[in-house]
Chain A
Amino acid sequence: GGEYQDFHAFDLSEATRVLEWIDDKGVCVAGYESLKKNEILHLLLPLRLSVKENQGLFPERDFKVRHGGFSDTSVFDLKHVLDTRLLVTSGLPGCHLHVWQVTEDSDVIQAVSTIAVQEEEGSLWPRVAIFSSMAPGVLHGARLRGLKVVDLETQKTTYSSGVGDSEELSSLQVLDADTFAFCCASGRLGLVDIRQKWAPSENAGPGPGAAARRWCAEVGGRRRGPGPSIASLGSDGQLCLLDPRDLCHPVSSGRCPVSAPSPAPELLRVTWAPGLDDCLAVSGFDGTVQVYDATSWDGTGGQVEPVFTHRGHIFLEDNQTDTAPLVTTHTWHPHKPRTLLSAASDASLHVWDWVDHRAAC
């Protein structure tokens, strides 16, 4: 349900699984096909969407390709190194991360270097997160045992998990200069302080029936007050909210109304709205993006209803193919509170803004 404030649909030349912000004016997208050259594009948002309020008139409603580059390998993850012109990508084959540079005087994104990933894992690819500082470090790993931080410039390993645990990683997120969070595909969550030897505060480990489900998670910055700031999403639609001080007992949980388990659990994504309290977006089950208000749940795990569902990717589908498009990723606009971007497997890219009918917030 819900009503649109605004909705713009675009078609990329190739589908993307990444939507990474470069400041608040542009996003990077990248192709994920194997066996062919993929494009990495730095897109400038249409002018009318890239400002805080609609001051005066901004005629431009098109994305502009500001920079483009070519990757021989598929790109499943792309991270911007804050305050630099560097990007780090990861995909298959998972034996290397690639570092790229976006320059001012050319519109070509140049390959700069590669970071070798010690353990190659066949169909697994390393998740990536960036410790941004004077000397940025790249946190990466496909499994807990291969998790390490590598200095971007010197390529020296500055931190290593040092464990033999072969659990597969699903999400990695840097929280501040010293901590990061991880979520394994099994649902195991942990917060790690890199100043100490590996000693994460974590949950008990996979629960019953966990093997059938795949999990991902995101830590959100809280705007005000205490409360759960970690959301974990299971491939059966279960959404759990946790307080970082007690990862073993979710504060609240609900079940998203999804008809079947996700056809591509690796695409599952849950995000916190940076500009709204207790507001989450979920995608990866089908061609929709669902927005939830966690305060409206009773928290006991029963079915919850989204406050808004973006169905544009299904409705605007041009070709009558058998496979309905699947939303591959979504992201919130950094400062327009109800604006999101979403991309789907049919190469569509949407920018939309929903009307909030909840009580004044």
Chain B
Amino acid sequence: MLDCGMHMGFNDDRRFPDFSYITRNGRLTDFLDCVIISHFHLDHCGALPYFSEMVGYDGPIYMTHPTQAICPILLEDYRKIAVDKKGEANFFTSQMIKDCMKKVVAVHLHQTVQVDDELEIKAYYAGHVLGAAMFQIKVGSESVVYTGDYNMTPDRHLGAAWIDKCRPNLLITESTYATTIRDSKRCRERDFLKKVHEAVERGGKVLIPVFALGRAQELCILLETFWERMNLKAPIYFSTGLTEKANHYYKLFITWTNQKIRKTFVQRNMFEFKHIKAFDRAFADNPGPMVVFATPGMLHAGQSLQIFRKWAGNEKNMVIMPGYCVQGTVGHKILSGQRKLEMEGRQVLEVKMQVEYMSFSAHADAKGIMQLVGQAEPESVLLVHGEAKKMEFLKQKIEQEFRVSCYMPANGETVTLPTSPSIPVGISLGLLKREMAQGLLPDAKKPRLLHGTLIMKDSNFRLVSSEQALKELGLAEHQLRFTCRVHLHDPRKEQETAMRVYSHLKSVLKEHCVQHLPDGSVTVESILIQAAAHSEDPGTKVLLVSWTYQDEELGSHLTSLLKKGLPQATS
């Protein structure tokens, strides 16, 4: 099972995946060899504790080390908001999160992990967020690569996704941003800084709701650099709770960040900021300009929502939404233009503050997808789309450019892909030699039929001669002989009929050894043909054609040839 996410737009059971697709009544552990989690975003791991502890799964759960470290933090944060703030029942508990994480097996990049004696997996760098990985899943010579979310262009704190020419049978890639042409990062950053600067210059307060461990670090680096360059004095705060842990994890997993950060890390810790301080709730009431990064990102609850409520009434203030907001959240409402919000207790909040949107999320666009397909060289591609819209153009583009099949299944649809795995079979030298000794040169273009016995033992395939197989198995050999009767109209003596048969076959079967034996019988290779008189009708001759099982093909061919009759004898 690839990923196990929560749908952030629903508050009821629709937010969980439908596990009945795996099995309706059976135990999930019996149907799944393992679960793979690509990265810590809640739409990829949010339902994991529910799945393992409430629905029931006891098998291994694989993820990268940073994901293993950060997942439980986000899950606990999410749980707290759902249960404590919203009072939800039927939600997973803190203990369930802990028990779920006990089932996790952490993997390193490019490390081949044996899940069992057949299944192996390997993680590749995906960019996108800290610890995000693409996974190759392999059984024998067949494999699937699942990308999770990835990004093909490096940014300020993460590198770009990369995979080798692993040639999987199938590449499963996200295609949410496939139809988007994004404006240049420089323009977006310049606009973001311009907005923040303008607000701060006029004495306003800027709220930036963020997911704790994602673009937040990117924006922090950006603001820090800008503040330094412009010698700005207004304070920048990062809300507590996740701050220290966030920076701690970035330091811990420094190898997962990009080259530039790793290099500068020696002189100066890129995640320890000069101008950015820890936030205290009381600061929100301080006079004067400031910038605050607060969680969660969609303003759906918690500290960011608290601060938003305090600052919303002043038009000097600004809120910059840095990412996609799911329908139902306050973030989504204000981005849609709503300026009067109904809060708890029927209170109406009037939003006078400036509302801006600046998406820095790092997903692959069409160009990125084409790049990845070019790197991995799969036989087929499967597009997973966030919205159920037609992407026929992208499908055709991929099919034409790479000569592969491209699938875009809808939710619940099953896709079946034919594969032709090659199974290596060792052929015994003795068998090979015997075939060569048959006398006729093999034709490279024509298939050559040979008889042997296939022995399959311990994932080992051998082709040996029947005799050898019998010997190895300790069995006695039996000879199977077939005899067929062909009736011919010929009033002459048997010997003459036999002669006619011999001449005919000699001329027709040029590539076989046809002989006329002294006792009157005719042989074609090892097949014996004898002519006899019919017991009741002297005008009819009976040809007895007999062959062993090994010569079945030639035997049948001869029989049908003879049934056609003989040419008229020339005198």
Contacts and interface: CB of A to CB of B under 8 A. Distances in A.
Interface of A: 7-13, 37, 39, 43, 46, 56-57, 59, 61-70, 105-109, 316, 349
A316 B183 contact: no
Contacts of A107: 179, 389-393
B366 interface: yes
A63 B181 contact: yes
Contacts of B389: 107
B337 A57 contact: yes
B180 interface: yes
B357 interface: yes
Contacts of A61: 183, 188, 359
B86 interface: no
A62 B184 contact: no
20 contacts: A7-B187, A8-B184, A9-B187, A13-B367, A56-B337, A59-B321, A59-B357, A61-B359, A62-B180, A62-B181, A62-B183, A63-B180, A65-B180, A68-B393, A70-B400, A105-B390, A106-B390, A107-B389, A107-B393, A316-B184
Given A13-B367, A62-B180, A316 B186 contact: yes
Across the A-B interface, give the 9 residue pairs with the lowest CB-CB distance, nearest first. Answer: A59-B357, A68-B393, A63-B181, A9-B184, A56-B337, A65-B179, A8-B183, A62-B180, A107-B393
Given A13-B367, A59-B335, A108-B392, A37 B183 contact: no
Given A59-B335, A107-B393, A108-B392, A64 B179 contact: yes
A72 to B, nearest CB: 11
A11 B182 CA distance: 8
B512 interface: no
B380 to A, nearest CB: 20
Given A11-B367, A70-B396, A108-B396, 13 more contacts: A7-B187, A8-B187, A9-B183, A10-B181, A10-B183, A57-B357, A59-B357, A59-B359, A61-B183, A106-B390, A107-B179, A109-B393, A349-B181
B396 A46 contact: no
Nearest to A63: B181
A10 B391 contact: no
Interface in B172-226: 179-184, 186-188
A13 B364 CA distance: 13
B355 interface: yes
A108 B357 CA distance: 31
Interface of B: 179-184, 186-188, 321, 334-335, 337, 355-357, 359, 366-367, 370, 389-394, 396-397, 400
A43 B188 contact: no
A102 to B, nearest CB: 11
B183 A13 contact: no
A106 B390 CA distance: 7
A46 B179 contact: no
A239 to B, nearest CB: 31
Contacts of B184: 8-11, 316
Nearest to A6: B191
B186 A9 contact: yes
Contacts of A105: 390
A11 B355 CA distance: 27
B181 A12 contact: yes
Contacts, number: 76
Given A68-B393, A107-B392, A57 B180 contact: no
A108 B391 CA distance: 8
Contacts of B183: 8-10, 46, 61-62
B319 to A, nearest CB: 10
A56 B390 CA distance: 30
B180 to A, nearest CB: 5
B23 to A, nearest CB: 36
A137 B180 CA distance: 34
Contacts of B334: 57
A69 B334 CA distance: 36
A316 B392 CA distance: 32
A61 B320 CA distance: 14
Q: Which of B183, B335, B391 has the most CB of A within 10 A?
A: B183
Q: Which of A11, A39, A64, A65 has the most CB of B within 10 A?
A: A65
Given A65-B366, A316-B186, A43 B181 contact: yes
Given A57-B355, A70-B400, A316-B186, A11 B392 contact: no
Contacts of B337: 56-57
B182 A62 contact: yes
Nearest to B182: A62
Contacts of A13: 366-367, 370
A7 B189 CA distance: 12
Nearest to A315: B186
A57 B351 CA distance: 13
Contacts of B397: 39, 68, 70
B34 to A, nearest CB: 36
A179 B249 CA distance: 70
Contacts of A66: 179
Contact of A57 (B335, B391, B393): B335
Contacts of A7: 187
A342 B396 CA distance: 28
Nearest to A60: B357
A61 B335 CA distance: 13
B393 A67 contact: yes
Contacts of A69: 393
A28 to B, nearest CB: 14
Contacts of B394: 68
A146 B17 CA distance: 64
A68 B399 CA distance: 14
A12 B391 CA distance: 18
Contact of B181 (A59, A65, A67): A65
B123 to A, nearest CB: 29
Contacts of A62: 180-183
A10 B188 CA distance: 11
A55 to B, nearest CB: 8
Q: Which of A12, A37, A107 has the most CB of B within 10 A?
A: A107
B185 to A, nearest CB: 10
Contacts of B393: 65, 67-69, 107-109
A10 B182 contact: yes
A146 B391 CA distance: 40
Nearest to A39: B397
Contacts of B390: 105-107
Contacts of B335: 57, 59
Nearest to A55: B337
